[in-house]
Amino acid sequence: MKKNISFLLAGVLLVTTLLSGCGGSSSGEGDKVLNIYNWTEYIPQEVYDQFEEETGIRVVESTFSSNEEMLAKLEAGGTDQYDLVVASNYVIDVMKEKNMIQTIDKDKIENITNISPSSMGMDYDPDNEYSIPFMATLTVIAINQEKCDELGVTINSFNDLLNPALENNIVVVDDSRELAAVALKATGQDPNSTDEATIEGALDWLNQLKTNIKAYDSDSPKTLLASNEVAVGLVYNMDAGQAIKENDQIKVVYTTEACEKSIDNFVITANSKNKEYAEEFINFVHRADVYKMILDEFPGVCLNDAAKELMDSSYLDNEGSNVDTAELDRANLIADVGEAATYYDDIFTKMKT
């Protein structure tokens, strides 16, 4: 989910140009532009195109690969760079505390009634004042059954990922919280621990896993899976679902330890110049037919009940996309760990160096 630096800089320059061209406002003079900061490969271009066709509002999208990268960009450059951001549940409190986001007028989001009630009113935003759920993600283990059989590998536990037979044969998400949580659970610890010693204790397990990692990839890990280049992926369920579509040897396996789960939300930046455009876009995305367009290309965990009724078997029967309800319920929701987030970043950095 990461674009190269030169491309990101070009994107920032383009956004700056566009904003100056329209006076940086939504006054109706010049171009009507909505600036979105989003995960890579999360909303297809056709959705942006249709939004512009229906509303006259052009979307300029910049992308990030982790919540940590997103927060750093907003802190460094200010929240007026973007109008709308897609942020995971565990950073919502941080964004509120740092005055990065503002309240949303839910009366403008008529399609909020399409959103699954189970994803509304969560602890991180009980009244959904600051966030509107978009889509959920489960970090799953996807295996290439044929390759695992050849290697004599069976995955029943996170600890099976340390099997020497998997040397240079795993692709993992490039995310500190996700990998640290796996290490903590594998060693019997709380995946949302805030204790420095406990978190640092996970580094030994991560270093053992490191030998088996071929790539850290949050952009397109499905490519390595689908092309038979790796035997195992610790990946977002959406990537597992896309790999399954391309390669019938790809399967999702659930271990004795529960998966990690996050809920991605739309938030409006504190200094958004086009709040009304942002609210209009949130409402547009949660229209059932539009949400279906997103799932057809990027099949994450559906949080729109009306859209799910429109989905066909290619989504509903795909174990990567339409994940097992029992596993969703069992999954650990990644929590805000406050200042302890630096401990997770530290062990991740040490693992990769």
pLDDT one-digit tens code per residue, 241-282: 999 999 999 999 999 999 999 999 999 999 999 999 999 999
Over residues 81-96, the mean pLDDT reads 97
Answer yes or no: CATH 3.30.70.580 is held by domain 5-136+263-322: no
Give the start-to-end residue ranges of the domains of the chain. Answer: 5-136+263-322, 137-261+327-352
CATH fold label, 137-261+327-352: D-Maltodextrin-Binding Protein; domain 2 (3.40.190)
Listing DSSP states for 206-247 in one string gives: HHHHHTTEEEE-SS-HHHHHHTTS-SEEEEEHHHHHHHHHH-
pLDDT score at 31: 87
pLDDT per position as a tens digit, 218-230: 878 999 999 999 9
Specify the DSSP class assigned to residue 98: T
Identify whether the C-beta of residue 266 lies closer than 8 Å to the C-beta of residue 131.
Answer: yes
Q: How long, in residues, is the chain?
A: 353
pLDDT score at 30: 61
Residue 46 to residue 29: CA distance in whole angstroms:
25
Q: Which pTM does this prediction carry?
A: 0.84
User: Can 5-136+263-322 and 137-261+327-352 be said to share one CATH topology?
Assistant: yes
